[in-house]
Amino acid sequence: MIDIADARPEEVAPGGTDVVEAPADPLTLPVLPDSSLAMLKAPAPAGADDTPPRPASGTASTVSVGLNRSEERLLEQIDRAMDQGLLEPRRRLKADDSTPADHAAKDVELPTEIQGNQVGVSVRNALDEGLARVRGNGMPAADAPTCLSGKLVAVQDWGTERPFSAQVSDLRALLYGEFDRVNPEAVLGLARLYLYFGFGAEAAGVLDLGRQNDLETRIIEALSDIMDGEDTREPNPFAGQQDCDGDVALWSVLAAGTLARPFDADAILLAFARLPAHLKSHLGPGLVRRFSDAGETDMASAILIATTRSGDATDPALIFAEASLDRARGNVEGWSGGMSEVIGSGSAQAPQAVIELIEATWESRGAIPPDMPVLLDAYALEYRDAAIGPDLRRAQVLALSLAGDVAGAQDRLAQVLAADGPEAQDAALLPFLTLLVERGSDLDFLRFGLQQVATGGRGLPEELATALADRLVGLGFAEPAMALLKAPASEAFARERRVLRARAALALDLPNRALVELLGLTGPDADRLRAEAMVRTGDLGQAAQAFLGAGAPEDAARGLWLSGAETLEPGLETTRYGQVADIAARLAVPPVATAAVDPDGDIPPSAPLREARDLIARSSETRGEILQLLALVDGANQQE
């Protein structure tokens, strides 16, 4: 037991002469939380003597002061130990003692699962436990960002309804003080005022007057990028804060390239509602598109409604945002109408609308208006040095490919290479080649497709390289197709490529190689190729069985007939080659001599004339069967 409480004032007895010292309550270690410490340090209650008894000597006073300082240090250390969870009170506080929530005993849940590449060891110390209680929800991730204060992004409070010129002039007058020194507070205030009115570049320019490498400066720079629609410079002060419960959640979403999850929907909507009307009109359409592209149609709809109330419903930016929401909801007609309206307006959103319309047409393999490539050429020239320039040049290639202008598309590909580099050209080349395989004429396909063979299909996706080889085999260019099919294939395309190599081997008259490629493969396509390879090797009987497995009874009957089989498989008699085999079998049997029959009865049985008449009748039947046989064979050849 250690008594570390301050000495209580001496209480005077009712008689007024005797002094009785009231004993302090003993305190058991560990001590109580902050609230109890505050009670120990609080002044004596009303009614007690405010003046404590003076010590008898200066030495006693010095000792008393030293003890008080020691008590304070001890109390601080005990309080810190309790904050870290090293000490807990042995008895509960009285009913009138309030215990702060941050000192309440909380069970911190340890992770019960090891995910990813985490090591199966969890190490904590007292500081970690204390931080966990302060942050709540157990131990946060090591790289979890701290939510910025709403005061740092309270853009709605950085300006007033006064005229813009009046507010700017007031702050400019304060920029320079005595000896022409820059006033940092005025610089920050002017930059914030520019942001309030939506001027991002101007706000960033003001910072150059007195740049400070601090958090507020980085926030102003990030907000200026957001206002101007630019990519947020690094380090992004809003990164990973979209799930905070303050205004910073809104700016975190606006600063990110794509919507990250989870996000605090209520905080974002409340922060957006607090913005002035002109900022809602400026930032709202882009925010609607961001949520629409992420499939968050409810959030996009709520922001669209708030933006429409604050701005002009006929604004092309707002129409563009509404069209994006229609597309996310599956309203293709509404999306198409909105895009056409935006393109016709010639606004700043028109080039992006043209790009998205071309990409949607490519995805659906539709047709574009005849004047669309011309419009794209104009936009590509106007915005050639802008951030949207590379996207417009890529859209040019796509539009000409959709229009069937293969030569024009190849010219634009060369321009993309010169302006944007090989990576951009490769990105534009893929849809061009895909449309060439699907729609191009044989001449155009061979002219540009064989150029890819020269590179071995390097850089082509497996799906496109496989489709390219398939068409080459179909056109009789088996050897170039083999060159494209040499590369190892993933499991998704392994079977298809083996079948294509078998087809190419048969086209190159390599039946044994085709059989090797088909080893272990099943299915009608593999069985048919296997049967054709067996026919090439002369194994007609096995080929007939393979044709039966492939569901080709005509080819099976033909194989059995050519193999000289005496009987056909059941069900093959009615096929064309089944009838051919039947007629051929009858013709192969030599005629049997029979007694001549005279239907009139006036010719003797042994007369030569009667035998001649019988031979003529049999030859006529044979000729008819031969004609029937030739007709069946000719029909079969025409079908093949």
Reading the block at residue 471, the tokens are: 């068409």
How confident is the model over 254-261, as a mean pLDDT?
87
Least confident span in 63-77, 501-515, 544-558:
63-77
Least confident span in 87-96, 344-353, 389-398, 533-542:
87-96
Q: Are 397 and 413 in contact (CB under 8 A)?
A: yes
Angle at 297 between CA 296 and CA 301, to 5 degrees: 125
Q: Which of 83, 105, 81 is nearest to 93 (CA)?
A: 105
CA–CA gap between residue 415 and residue 402 (Å, rounded)? 18
CA–CA gap between residue 63 and residue 67 (Å, rounded)? 6
How confident is the model over 113-134, as a mean pLDDT?
44
Strands 19-20 and 11-12, sheet pairing: antiparallel
Across the chain, which distance is largest between two alpha carbons, in Å? 180
Concatenating the DSSP letter of every residue in 619-639 gives HHHHHHHHHHHHHHHHHHHHH
Q: Are 327 and 356 in contact (CB under 8 A)?
A: no
Least confident span in 99-103, 255-259, 513-517, 636-640:
99-103
CA–CA gap between residue 268 and residue 562 (Å, rounded)? 79
178-199 tens-digit pLDDT = 778 888 888 999 999 999 999 9
Band of residue 11 on the pLDDT scale cut at 50, 70, 90: very low
Report how far apart, in Å, the C-alpha atoms of 624 and of each of 59, 343, 561, 614, 629 are: 147, 74, 20, 16, 9
576-600 tens-digit pLDDT = 666 666 666 666 666 555 554 555 5
Least confident span in 110-119, 255-264, 485-494, 600-609:
110-119
Q: What is the pLDDT of residue 177?
A: 79
CA–CA gap between residue 558 and residue 544 (Å, rounded)? 8
Residue 51 carries which side chain, given as an amino acid letter? T
DSSP state of 254: H
Band of residue 568 on the pLDDT scale cut at 50, 70, 90: low
Q: What is the pLDDT of residue 133?
A: 42
- The residue extents of the domains of the chain are 1-44+63-105+125-144, 145-275, 524-639
Taken in order 285, 291, 292, 298, the sign of the CA dihedral is: negative
Judged against a pLDDT cut of 50, whether residue 91 lies above it is answered with: no
Judged against a pLDDT cut of 60, whether residue 155 lies above it is answered with: yes
Judged against a pLDDT cut of 70, whether residue 97 lies above it is answered with: no
Q: What is the mean pLDDT of the chain?
A: 77
Band of residue 382 on the pLDDT scale cut at 50, 70, 90: very high
Judged against a pLDDT cut of 50, whether residue 553 lies above it is answered with: yes
Say what angle helices 553-563 and 608-639 make with each other, to 10 degrees: 130
Taken in order 74, 79, 85, 87, the sign of the CA dihedral is: positive
Q: What is the pLDDT of residue 322?
A: 93
Judged against a pLDDT cut of 60, whether residue 103 lies above it is answered with: no
464-481 tens-digit pLDDT = 999 999 999 999 999 999
**Percent helix, percent strand, percent coil in the chain, to nearest 5:** 60, 0, 40
What is the pTM (predicted TM-score) of this model? 0.63
